[in-house]
Amino acid sequence: MDEAALINKAQDGDLAAFNRLVITYQEAVYNVAYRIMGEPQSAEDATQETFISAYQALKRFRGGSFKSWLMRIATNACYDELRRRKRRPQSSLDRITEENESFAFLRSPDEGPEQAQQRLEMVKAIEDCLRELPDDQRITAVLGDVEGYNYQEIAGITGVSLGTVKSRMSRARSKLRDCLQGVKELLPASYRLTTNT
């Protein structure tokens, strides 16, 4: 059954059809939430809240990109979760423990342990620098650079103008570049050459 038929059935109240959509998009939504929130527990809460809100608002979906519509709900859920987290900040120790458990997937069978370690450090550095960005710039950078949305789509998801998206993207990349400059210098030249190609 194609996506449009699943959406129609879900709009008619078929929860099983909606859950099939959840299975299709839950990984994408979770990864966006994770990049924005910076840690797994908040990302889980934001993801669950996204699908609950999507089910309740499904009748208002009038067509177009279902993924973009889901991402908009996910972004708003992340905003709510960020405000909630500011009221009860999480300890850094808990965050590190959770992150170590989730990095197990990064290991690839065809790469050596040194390369795996370098890749792990790179990923952690990027995620640390993303976490340092202001919320608006981080969301824009995740949607643009991580998820690959263009400026128009980012403007629709975040609900801001095209000029604002350009400005936020520029500032986020500038800060990331400054933050990751030291990490890049520590990387071996071979790594930099292979990743540039």
Partner 1 sequence: MLNFLRNRGRSERELRQETLSAYLDGELTPAEHDRFEQQLAQNSDLRNELVDSQFWQQQMRNLPARRVPRNFTLDPVLYGPPQRQFWGSAYPALRAATALTAFLLVIALAANVYMSSFSTDAVSQAALVPALESAPMQAVEVEEAAPQEIVPEEGGALPEEEVTLEAEMVADQELPAAPPATPFALETYTDKESEAAEAPIEITGAEELMPAESAAEESVEEPKFSKQEEPLDEALREELAQSLDILEETSEPPLAGAREAVPTEVAEIIASEELGIEEVPPAANLSGQEEEMSAPMSNTSSAVNIPLSLGLEKLSIGLGLLLISLAILTFIAYRRR
Helix, strand, coil fractions of the chain, as percent rounded to 5: 80, 0, 20
Residue placing its CB nearer to partner 1 in the complex, 1 or 86: 1
* Residue 3 beta carbon to partner 1: minimum distance, rounded to whole angstroms: 16
For residue 149, what are its two tokens? 């949305």
Residue placing its CB nearer to partner 1 in the complex, 87 or 96: 96
Residue placing its CB nearer to partner 1 in the complex, 46 or 86: 46
Cβ contacts of residue 63 below 8 Å, gap of 6+? none
* Residue 166 beta carbon to partner 1: minimum distance, rounded to whole angstroms: 6
Cβ density class 151-171: b for 16+ within 10 Å, e for less: bebbbbbbeeeeebbeebbeb
Residue placing its CB nearer to partner 1 in the complex, 24 or 86: 24
* Residue 4 beta carbon to partner 1: minimum distance, rounded to whole angstroms: 19
Residue placing its CB nearer to partner 1 in the complex, 82 or 116: 116
Cα 130 from Cα 138, distance rounded (Å): 6
* Residue 169 beta carbon to partner 1: minimum distance, rounded to whole angstroms: 5
Decide: 29 and 74 in contact? Cβ < 8 Å.
yes
* Residue 30 beta carbon to partner 1: minimum distance, rounded to whole angstroms: 5
Positions in the binding site for partner 1 (CB under 8 A): 13-16, 18-19, 22-23, 26-27, 29-31, 34-35, 40, 44, 47-48, 51-52, 55, 59, 102, 105-106, 122-123, 126-127, 141, 144-146, 148, 150-151, 163, 166-167, 169-171, 173-174, 176-177, 180-181, 184, 192, 195-196
Cβ contacts of residue 101 below 8 Å, gap of 6+? none
153, amino acid identity: E
Cα 169 from Cα 133, distance rounded (Å): 11
Residue placing its CB nearer to partner 1 in the complex, 35 or 72: 35
* Residue 124 beta carbon to partner 1: minimum distance, rounded to whole angstroms: 11
Residue of 134, 99, 123, 105 lying closest to 180 (CA atoms):
123
For residue 36, what are its two tokens? 């924005």
